Amino acid sequence: MRSETAGRVGETDALDIRHLSKYFGGAVALDDVSLTVRRGEVHGLLGSNGSGKSTLIKVLAGFHTPEPGAKISLYGKSVPLPIPGAKVRELGLAFVHQHLGLIPSLSVTENLQIGSLSTGQDWAINWGAAHREAAAIFARFGLALDPKAPVGTLSAVQQALLAIVRAYEDIRKATENHVDRPGVLVLDEPTPFLPRAGVEQLFGLVRQCTELGASVIFVSHDVDEVREITDRATVLRDGHLIDTVVTADTSHEAFVERIIGRTMDVYAGSNKQPRTSTPSVAVSNLSVAGVGPLGFDLAEGEILGLTGLIGSGFDNVPALLYGARKGTTGQMTIDNQSFDLAAFNPIKALEAGIAYLPADRLGEAGIGSLSVGDNVSMPVYGQLRSALGLTDRQIGRHARKLGQGAGVKPNVPSMSLAALSGGNAQKALMAKWLQIGPRLLLLDEPTQGVDVGARQQIWDALDRTAQSGAAILVSSTDYEQLAQLCHRVLIFARGQIVAELSGADLTKDLIAEHCYRSMPQLA
């Protein structure tokens, strides 16, 4: 590809990372990682969840202090560690995260200049000049953006482009005094929610930036995008640097192998077989913006997993089946009762015996400021009422019993939910829904931020629930969890189901492989 243009002889590398390690408590997030990013190079950073990609980026952004012994230099000059977060821009680093950091209600120009507007001491902003300057910048990159348009009216692609241009301009301005240091742009998963055409436009912009001398670190899940845009790529796995390769010489297969690795093959397939094949739930023509139309079914007592890469749409499915999102269409049949999902809502879902535990524990699933007792008793207030009405004592007694069964520690119903650890809060919230005996239980990332011990208890609770005849739908990006917990796993890409794994095929590695392989067939 263009690797020969990168790294001209005699010039120092743009970014040089040596012996970077980071531990969280005892856990290794990064172990002695060394890599270089050359001038004018697009350098891919690949790895699955928990590989250390985001830790590496956060060290560069100054969020994390690396372990002693690390050395990071930009254009041959070593930078202080931890990297001073307020000064990264002056050092020549700029970041574009998946949440682009744009303010939708402000204009394109205002967003573009947000850095100088919010810190500058300017008592007379010349808007005419500012708009002209913005227009000149866009013209240089060949972008058709209206400087006066509110950012909220732009498409997702235009917003991503704007964020990248802004990051580029920020480092260009910050490093104006030393043209020999054009800066390093870090793009952290910028593409998952963009349509294919938008991705190409974005790549065009990335190449323009590198032609102007900047280097780009491109962080992604998506092997094909990395193969398309990068000159070289580094693969991380479990905090270790597996390999840095020249992209042009590396096949898709070779990347996938490095990402998932072969050494972790400890867990065999779950070989769980559903207890019955009595159909319980059937979903057809399920569709919402970016997902579907798709259909699948669940048997009684079956635990069905949904997974895919970020942006593939699998994580929307539980909320859609619960009637919690507007604009859903499709049909669902549960125990021979049919529902039109367009007219479905949480109240109807609960009546039909569907329960939903969202991933956002204190935002959607439970209320942190209220007591554990209030939180878990909510669905059964009616049954707890005595002649004198509902009392705290009654609620406490019920919640304590429930908490004991679920293994909530400490089992004190008067404590606020926010005071519990992630795992214990999740156990309590799971118990909240299991007590109503759902026919279909919908879970989104049920063990995110949950410690190993609590995770096992949650799995056991799910197994028991399934054995009693309920159907369970789990959406998760934790392949290992899915492999152990589920009878069957559906893999999503671009809003479609692209693979189904069960029985002996249901292993962590095969799930990962299908997730990463699913891309090219659809591109």
Partner 1 sequence: MSTGQTSDPIAAYEKRIAALEAKLNTLEESVISRTVRESETFDWKTWAERFGLLIAWGVMILILGAFKPDQMFAWNSYASMFGSNAMVVVLTLALMIPLTTGDFDLSVASVMGLSSMLLAVLNVKMGMPIGGAIVFVLAAGAIVGLINSFFILYFGVHSLIVTLGTGYFINGVILWVSNSNTIAGVSMDLVKAVILTRLFGIPIGFYYALALSVLVWYVFQHTSLGRRLLFVGRGREVARLSGVNVNRVRTGALVASGVIAAFAGVLYTGMRGASDPSSALAFLLPAFAAAFLGSTAIYPGRFNAPGAFVAVFFLSTGIMGLNFLGVDSFVQNLFYGGGLVIAVSISQLIRGRKPMD
The residue among 244, 219, 230, 341 whose CA lies nearest residue 287 is: 341
Q: Which is nearer to partner 1, 278 or 391 (CB)?
A: 391
Contact 394, 422 (CB under 8 A): no
Kindly tell me which residue out of 84, 453, 503, 520 binds partner 1, with binding defined by CB under 8 A: 453
Q: Which is nearer to partner 1, 251 or 383 (CB)?
A: 383
Q: Find the shortest distance in angstroms from Cβ 214 to partner 1.
A: 41
User: Which region, judged by CB under 8 A, interacts with partner 1, from 112-120, 232-240, 304-312, 385-393?
Assistant: 385-393
Told to check if 365 binds partner 1 by CB under 8 A, we report yes
Kindly tell me which residue out of 90, 224, 257, 364 binds partner 1, with binding defined by CB under 8 A: 364
Report the alpha-carbon distance of residue 64 to residue 67 in Å, rounded. Answer: 9
Report the alpha-carbon distance of residue 221 to residue 309 in Å, rounded. Answer: 7
Q: What is the largest CA-CA distance in the chain?
A: 87
Return the exposure string of 7-20: e unless at least 16 CB atoms fall within 10 Å of the residue's CB, then b: beeeebbbbbbeeb
Told to check if 374 binds partner 1 by CB under 8 A, we report yes
* Bridge partners, 386 (sequence order): 389
Q: Which is nearer to partner 1, 94 or 395 (CB)?
A: 395
Report the alpha-carbon distance of residue 376 to residue 430 in Å, rounded. Answer: 9
Q: How many residues does the chain have?
A: 523
Per-residue contact string for residues 304-323; x = within reach of partner 1 by CB under 8 A? ------------------x-
Told to check if 381 binds partner 1 by CB under 8 A, we report yes
Tokens of 334: 């549960």
* Bridge partners, 299 (sequence order): 279
Please report the beta strands in 57-130, taking only residues with DSSP state E, as ranges in sequence order.
Answer: 71-74, 77-78, 93-96
DSSP collapsed to 3 states, 348-415: HHHHCCEEEECCCHHHHHCCCCCEHHHHHHHHHHHHHCECCECCHHHHHHHHHHHHHHHCCCCCCCCC
Contact 356, 324 (CB under 8 A): yes
Number of residues that bind partner 1 (CB under 8 A): 42
Rg (CA), the chain: 26
Told to check if 25 binds partner 1 by CB under 8 A, we report no
Told to check if 225 binds partner 1 by CB under 8 A, we report no
Kindly tell me which residue out of 68, 128, 327, 382 binds partner 1, with binding defined by CB under 8 A: 382
Q: Which is nearer to partner 1, 149 or 419 (CB)?
A: 419
Q: Which is nearer to partner 1, 364 or 505 (CB)?
A: 364
Q: Find the shortest distance in angstroms from Cβ 13 to partner 1.
A: 36
The residue among 339, 327, 311, 521 whose CA lies nearest residue 440 is: 339
Report the alpha-carbon distance of residue 139 to residue 136 in Å, rounded. Answer: 5
User: Which region, judged by CB under 8 A, interacts with partner 1, from 50-58, 113-121, 294-302, 409-417?
Assistant: 409-417
Told to check if 81 binds partner 1 by CB under 8 A, we report no
User: Which region, judged by CB under 8 A, interacts with partner 1, from 89-97, 174-182, 183-191, 263-271?
Assistant: 263-271
Told to check if 409 binds partner 1 by CB under 8 A, we report yes
- Give the footprint of partner 1 on residues 332-361 (CB under 8 A): 346-347, 349-350, 356, 358
Neighbouring residues of 419: CB distance < 8 A, sequence distance ≥ 6: none
- Give the footprint of partner 1 on residues 467-506 (CB under 8 A): 484
Q: Find the shortest distance in angstroms from Cβ 40 to partner 1.
A: 42
Report the alpha-carbon distance of residue 190 to residue 186 in Å, rounded. Answer: 10
Q: Which is nearer to partner 1, 54 or 371 (CB)?
A: 371
Per-residue contact string for residues 417-446; x = within reach of partner 1 by CB under 8 A? -xx---------------------------
Contact 378, 432 (CB under 8 A): yes
Q: Which is nearer to partner 1, 271 or 276 (CB)?
A: 271
Which residues sit at the interface with partner 1, rule CB under 8 A? 266-268, 322, 324, 346-347, 349-350, 356, 358, 363-370, 374, 378-379, 381-382, 385, 388-392, 409-410, 412, 414-416, 418-419, 451-453, 484
